[in-house]
Chains A and B, each alone.
Chain A
């Protein structure tokens, strides 16, 4: 006898309870989304496809930061450094040893995990404010090493990275990149969704919500904090590696402290502690510079402002961060789930009985 819950759907087995697509409307919507995603590259021009690829890469980075900041509650400003580790592991392995793509990609992730382990060590004994400072310092230390490596190799302008090839197949065009990134992002997202609802993810959230209680519940705080750092930086380095391959070029001056702040802005705007939120934030903030430049052309703003659009972007981002934290710290995803959706679900009434 199935037991109906409030929503009217019944779960009769553990399998049904943990299924991600447990009902037919969900399966239908997911199928529809998949259809759109597959059809997209055949409908869009190459420029928009390029933008989508950049958004996908940014999504990976934002997911990585959300594991650390959104789920574990460790605010990190060192994200640019971890991305740089991925890019520079790639540059080193490709230019010096000429290794294939399929070796470099996991190697970058492992490099990121190792860096994350060491970056996590000083933060083990600290809480909020001081952790931010240590991740800030870590960013600068990593970047100093990157600059040093770049000067040592004599490639001041940066490293050229050839298109990746898997066996006989070389990923070259935007469309090929789109499908590769679609598969990779999909797999990483699935991994993250399952990670945050497994034992590890629940331990992280327990630490975020109240670390002393987490400790009393038997969560080994140090172990799980280090694990969060390692997962997050491994994923960030993975994204950095893919980004370096996609752009075909990498240089240390691409990764500034502002990179880390951009990623932080994404998860604050999108929603901390939410996979969907990372996607939303990454989508908005990765497209912000392009949107601004289109808008400025549309509005015919004076040329001195056109040249300083990046400054407008910085100002907008900073104000977005501040105002979201003051007015809606849970981000856009909370606005959707807690305000917009209930409004339409209850319409024409204002309140649930």
Chain B
């Protein structure tokens, strides 16, 4: 039973990590980045390529992957999303869908569709650790939990206390007003895209070393979409209970009912929340555009 709880915690940390990327972008620009899963995949592949180029220097490779994905995020915002200012939000979201399908194709072209494994390349020894009450967690499980806590906590503190973080909140609240008060909103958007993609890369590295890396893993991004919706698209804090809830349902269904349906459970939860409480558990009610 205790083991079950910890499985839920591990899964929910990866959901938190993924959800934080969605929430950051949504808060800043009201865009749901449907290419997020593909960025997770790309981040994993960046780390894979760098690690094979310079073997034995895993931490350097991971750092390099973070920097590359940060730059990718900035460039994507500048080239593709900035021209969408003034267009309907729906069009901007479809651009991200276009990006997702394009990146899936490009990743297949560059890295092929055979699964790659990040763990051996990064020299991560995934040892089991034994805890009291018969709990067994691997090194990567612990790393996942730690990364999620660090990223989420770091973001909450960053948005609250750092000057640029306060700028981000101002832009999230009202971009026009923020721009008129002298905040360079383009830099803020670039930063938001960059940070969001760094989160995706962290998730990609963890997922890629824990399981595998192939062009199909981008679908995890769509599954993880349930978490920010349930927690409220504009609430970083709401991610934690939402991620726990989704992970609980998913692992519960996998364990006690049918493994096949566990893949769909997050999306069914998403539908129910959209039907009953579209602004999510902790979102602001007026926030969402309704008819």
Please list the residues of chain A having a beta carbon within 8 angstroms of any beta carbon in chain B: 73, 75, 77, 121-130, 132-134, 136-138, 140-141, 144, 147-148, 151, 211, 221, 257-258, 261, 264-265, 268, 305, 308, 310-322, 325-326, 329
Judge whether A261 and B101 touch: CB under 8 Å. yes
Q: Which residues of A contact B215 (CB under 8 A)?
A: 311
Q: Which residues of A contact B98 (CB under 8 A)?
A: 265, 317-322, 325
Chain A CB within 8 A of B157 CB: no
Q: Report if A137-B105 is in contact (Cβ < 8 Å); known contacts: A125-B290, A127-B289, A321-B98.
A: no
Complex: how many Å from CA A75 to CA B226?
A: 19
Judge whether B105 and A75 touch: CB under 8 Å. no
Per a CB cutoff under 8 Å, which of B99, B113, B219 touches A322?
B99
Q: Report if A122-B290 is in contact (Cβ < 8 Å); known contacts: A314-B104, A315-B106.
A: no
Nearest-CB residue, chain B, relative to A322: B98
Nearest-CB residue, chain A, relative to B258: A148
Please list the residues of chain B having a beta carbon within 8 angstroms of any beta carbon in chain A: 30-32, 34, 80, 83-84, 87-91, 93-95, 97-106, 108-109, 112-113, 215, 219, 222, 225-226, 229, 260-261, 263-264, 267-268, 270-271, 274-275, 278, 288-291
Q: Would you give the shortest CB distance from B280 to chain A, in whole angstroms? A: 10
Q: Would you give the shortest CB distance from A244 to chain B, in whole angstroms? A: 23
Complex: how many Å from CA A94 to CA B59?
A: 58
Q: Which residues of A contact B108 (CB under 8 A)?
A: 308, 310-311, 314
Q: Would you give the shortest CB distance from B19 to chain A, in whole angstroms? A: 13
Secondary structure at the A interface, as helix, strand, loop or mixed, is helix
Q: Which residues of B contact A140 (CB under 8 A)?
A: 222, 263-264, 267
Judge whether B291 and A125 touch: CB under 8 Å. yes
Q: Which residues of B contact A264 (CB under 8 A)?
A: 94, 97
Judge whether A321 and B101 touch: CB under 8 Å. yes
Most chain B Cβ neighbours within 10 Å, of A133, A140, A320: A133
Q: Report if A126-B291 is in contact (Cβ < 8 Å); known contacts: A315-B106, A325-B94.
A: yes
Q: Would you give the shortest CB distance from B107 to chain A, in whole angstroms? A: 8
Q: Report if A126-B222 is in contact (Cβ < 8 Å); known contacts: A264-B97, A311-B109, A321-B101.
A: no
Secondary structure at the B interface, as helix, strand, loop or mixed, is helix
Most chain B Cβ neighbours within 10 Å, of A73, A257, A258, A314: A314
Q: Which residues of A contact B106 (CB under 8 A)?
A: 311, 315
Judge whether B291 and A137 touch: CB under 8 Å. no
Nearest-CB residue, chain B, relative to A313: B105
Q: Report if A132-B95 is in contact (Cβ < 8 Å); known contacts: A314-B108, A325-B84.
A: no
Q: Which residues of A contact B260 (CB under 8 A)?
A: 144, 147-148, 151
Judge whether A211 and B291 touch: CB under 8 Å. yes
Q: Which residues of A contact B91 (CB under 8 A)?
A: 325, 329
Q: Which residues of A contact B219 (CB under 8 A)?
A: 257
Judge whether B109 and A132 touch: CB under 8 Å. no
Judge whether A122 and B99 touch: CB under 8 Å. no
Nearest-CB residue, chain A, relative to B225: A133
Per a CB cutoff under 8 Å, which of B103, B271, B291 touches A221?
B291
Q: What would 17 more interface pairs be, CB under 8 Å, given A134-B271, A320-B98, A321-B101?
A: A125-B278, A125-B290, A132-B32, A132-B34, A140-B222, A144-B261, A144-B263, A147-B260, A308-B113, A310-B105, A311-B109, A311-B113, A315-B101, A315-B105, A315-B109, A321-B95, A329-B87
